[in-house]
Structure 1
Amino acid sequence: MEKQGKVSLWVGKFDSREVLDSFLNETYDEDGELSSDFMNEFEIDFIDNQFQEVYFYEGISDKKEIFDGFSYIDSFIKNIPDMNWAEKNTILLLYNFEYSKKIDDKKIEFIDCYDFIED
């Protein structure tokens, strides 16, 4: 799933930042395999955390305000669909990662994969 110049976007709704952190928390099993609830639910074997950005927000409904500050956002924000952002509170971006599976989850939803340009 690693692919240079691609960014995958998930959008979700969590009860709190702590619940989100728990969902993303990576642990090792007795075989030394790394996993998290997020990785398990979306069938992802490996995430390089240095290419991951996560934002938990509350009370914001403007897409530009929500995505302000994300890396390379100017190169792909126009491709992100409009939605009711006030009903969400979590953005997760994985850079140099091309995800394409459609897996239903109540907390977080894969939106799409976009090309990005490094500034």
Structure 2
Amino acid sequence: MEREGYVSLWVGNFASNEELQHYLLNFYDEDGEAAASMFEEEYRIEGHDSDFREAEYFKEGSNQLSVLLEGGSYEEMVIPHFIKLKGEELPYPVKSMILFYHFKYSGKGSHQSSRVHYVGSVRYK
């Protein structure tokens, strides 16, 4: 759900940047109406502006949150907050991350079939 000043993080393992971008791509039907991406469908996210989303693919996997989040918007606030929430290391290396800004995920989506894992949400403003 939209929530000013929050950012939500998902991580996963995609084979390529193209595969990650396809997972996040919004489709349009024959009437020109936008349809949810695979990611939005799996996590039941509706109406979130993709302008507030960052996604990154890494050729080399990492389990270090600071490495995964480095270079992202508000990194000076986001990195320490996620490290405080989850610790410096994830339990396994990942090759991709998705950040949704102005968004605090409520945890209502399907997780077992998802290509990504929800890490958490933190305040960054």
TM over 0.5: yes
Q: How many angstroms apart in 1 are the aligned matches of 2:50 and 2:34?
A: 15
Q: 1:93 aligns with which of 86, 99, 105?
A: 99
1:108: which partner in 2? 116
Counterparts of residues 1-119 of structure 1 (less than 5 Å): 1-30=1-30, 32-61=33-62, 62-80=64-82, 81=86, 82-84=89-91, 87-101=93-107, 103-104=110-111, 105-117=113-125
Determine if contact 2:42/2:114 at 8 Å carries over to the other structure: no
Moved over 4 A (4+): none
- Identity over the aligned pairs, expressed in percent? 31
1:63 Cα shift? 3.0
Q: Please give the per-residue CA displacement for 1:15-59, whole angstroms capped at 9, x wherever unaligned.
A: 211211111111123462431111111111112111111110122
Per residue, is there more strand in 1 or in 2? 2
TM (normalized to structure 1)?
A: 0.85
Segments of structure 1 that go 5 or more residues without pairing to the other structure are: none
